[in-house]
Amino acid sequence: HTSFSTNNPGQKVFTTKDLPYGKQVIWPPHCVIGTSGADFHKDLNTNKANLIIRKGFRKEIDSYSGFFENDKITHTGLDGALKNAGIKKVFVVGLALDFCVQYTALDSKRLGFETYVIKQATLPVDIGSSVEETMKNFKKYGIKLIDKYS
């Protein structure tokens, strides 16, 4: 992927570079399709899933949100699938709190869903003030941070 450090010789991980859609963080390779890093958690039963959305598989554009690629134009299909199913509430979990979880939660709220982030089911990358900014955004946009789903 264009955002991976392996495709950016000489650039340090967690620095940024300019791409046509804006600033892009340089990441260590992760969640590569076909590797164990892209596998679902072993305790997650995907046999009961009605739909699995893939994101971040386009070489030229990264994807933090579950709803849009980072260009904010290219849809993943999640919005339409949820609305077609009559879903009104979205619970966001995963990695990383201050990037993919935050972008997904912000887009969820912007698209009209009541949005929750389950704190115990996510961890941050924690670059500079990224966690602090994430918490400010959750508060600013009315995204509810909860300890667990019950």
pLDDT (tens, 9 = 90+) of the chain, 150 residues, equals 889 999 999 999 999 999 999 999 999 998 888 899 888 888 888 998 889 898 888 888 889 999 999 999 999 999 999 999 999 999 999 999 999 999 999 999 999 999 999 999 999 999 999 999 999 999 999 999 998 765
Q: What angle do CA 107, 43, 147 make, to 5 degrees?
A: 50
Structure tokens at 13: 């991980």
Candidates 45, 51, 27; CA nearest to 37 is 27
pLDDT of residue 33: 86
95 CB contacts (<8 Å, ≥6 apart)?
Answer: 101, 122, 123
| Distance, CA of 80 to CA of 51 (rounded, Å) | 12
User: Can you give the pTM of this predicted structure?
Assistant: 0.91
